[in-house]
Amino acid sequence: MNAPKVVVESLYKVFGNNPKQALDMLAAGATKDEIFARTGQVVGVQNVSFGVQEGEIFVLMGLSGSGKSTLIRLINRLVEPTSGKVIVDGRDIAAVKRSALTSLRRTDMSMVFQSFALMPQRTVLSNAAFGLEVAGVAKKEREKRALAVLEQVGLAAFAQKLPSELSGGMQQRVGLARALTVNPSLMIMDEAFSALDPLKRKEMQNVLLQLQKDQRRTIMFVSHDLEEALRIGNRIAIMEGGRLVQLGTPQEIISNPADDYVRAFFEGVDTSRYLTAADLMQTDAVPLVRHADTAAVTASLNGSADYAFVLDAERKIRGFVTREALHAATPAVAPRIAQVESISRAASLEHVVSRVVASARALPVVDDDGCYCGSVDRAAVLKVLTRSRGAHV
Ligand SMILES: Nc1ncnc2c1ncn2[C@@H]1O[C@H](COP(=O)(O)OP(=O)(O)OP(=O)(O)O)[C@@H](O)[C@H]1O
Ligand SMILES: [Mg+2]
């Protein structure tokens, strides 16, 4: 695996006049509340460590005041750490000179906030090109690049309009376009979609996911909405009182919430919707055979299994052979291989359910290259459905 894009190591931020004292108190076991009560200082972030992989959408979640904004501002040094390290592309951010910080933020780490503050007297195009303008890119070039990005977010036709002529959701897209136009290697988005109504918010999430398909960027995204986090996050970090309480893929967090604080986010959310075939599959439920000759099939079906999947040398699925087919076979005539449709690893639970209920046998789950990964059957689906329902009662 590549080196992580961002590494955070034992990061602390204390807001107050004697941060050293607060750190000592934390080390001695005092809580954030005790420190506030005794010294008036606020522990914004405490002892947080994690890595963000190149190309992933990393979502920070947590209740109001849990330290999400502070944490991402520590990454581009809008907030100075009290102690600990932030490393971006192998470079220690603390060592970057103040004079170089502005350009770093402008070009390498674009930040998108909840309110985009578009310039009302400028056209959509000019707003989208603003980052490049500040960076000194010539007009023709920057407008060309901004227009390409407006195209990606579906606003090319509105390039010459003023922001006031656009709906709120469209304005939000202009803000996103402005951040994208500088082609940052790291996008930092703090509650970027939170001010939007649910429909527009979903639309923006789709725009972001589509962009992410075309050109993988590293995105750190703050949200207090679990459904948003589950939809767009490759991994989710959950914060409480300045600490990182859990970090994992949506599926890991759904299947194994660290504590009641994490579980409380799931109230009223149908988490099973976010599971995929890969989460449901078993890897050793169905025997596999390479050569579908009578001897090999006999050997693979010598247990309780009634059928085996037949794979080729590249682990692509060729079909399945049943016990009946084996009975009809002879040492000279190989058992008949029947066709089977496979399910993609990324298939949604809904899709898996519709396919599995229509099939008497388990179905193979394959990766993007069509290689066999495992199998899903009715029992696996039922188990997940009852478990995730159980979690809500
Ligand atoms: N500049 C500041 N000065 C003093 N305290 C601060 C400052 N910024 C943040 N804090 C405190 O640090 C803690 C974390 O705040 P932060 O803004 O990071 O939370 P958040 O998770 O982003 O919350 P929200 O969801 O409301 O945006 C809070 O207790 C807050 O009061
Ligand atoms: Mg915040």
CA of residue 93 to ligand 1 center, whole Å:
21
Task: Give one word for 289, left, alpha or beta, with left for phi > 0 and alpha for psi -120 to 50.
Answer: beta
pLDDT in tens, 34-87: 999 999 999 999 999 999 999 999 999 999 999 999 999 999 898 999 999 999
388 pLDDT band, cuts 50/70/90, is: low
Q: What is the pLDDT of residues 305-344, one digit of tens each?
A: 899 999 999 999 999 999 999 888 888 888 999 999 999 9
Indicate which atom in ligand 1 lies nearest the CA of residue 224. Answer: 25
Digit-coded pLDDT (tens) for 114-128: 666 789 999 999 999
Task: Establish whether residue 79 lines the binding site of ligand 1, counting it when its CB lies within 6 angstroms of any ligand atom.
Answer: no
Q: Each residue of 282-293: pLDDT tens digit? A: 999 999 998 888
Angle, alpha carbons 176-182-183 (nearest 5°): 85
| Residue 154, token pair as written in the block | 């579906």
- Ligand 1 touching residue 65 (CB < 6 A): yes
In angstroms, the CA 290 to CA 274 distance is 33
User: Which residue ranges form the domains of the chain, and what is each CATH number?
Assistant: 1-108+208-269 (3.40.50.300), 279-389 (3.10.580.10)
Mean pLDDT of the chain: 89
pLDDT score recorded for residue 114: 65
> Which residue CA neighbors atom 4 of ligand 1 most closely?
15
- 317: tokens are 């699925």
Provide, rounded to the nearest whole percent, the portion of the chain with pLDDT above 70: 97
**pLDDT of 162 strictly over 80:** yes
User: CA-CA distance, 181 to 141, in Å (whole number)?
Assistant: 11
Phi, psi of 148 (to 5 degrees): -60, -40
Degrees, nearest 5: CA angle 360-379-343: 65
Q: Is 78 in the pocket of ligand 1 (CB under 6 A)?
A: no
Identify the pLDDT of residue 390.
47
φ, ψ at 319 (rounded to 5°): 150, -160
pLDDT at residue 387 above 70? no
Cα 199 to ligand 1 centre (Å): 28
Task: Look up the pTM and report it.
Answer: 0.79
Q: Identify which has the larger pLDDT, 279 or 43.
A: 43
CA distance 114 to 195: 6
- Dist. CA 43 → ligand 1 center (Å): 9
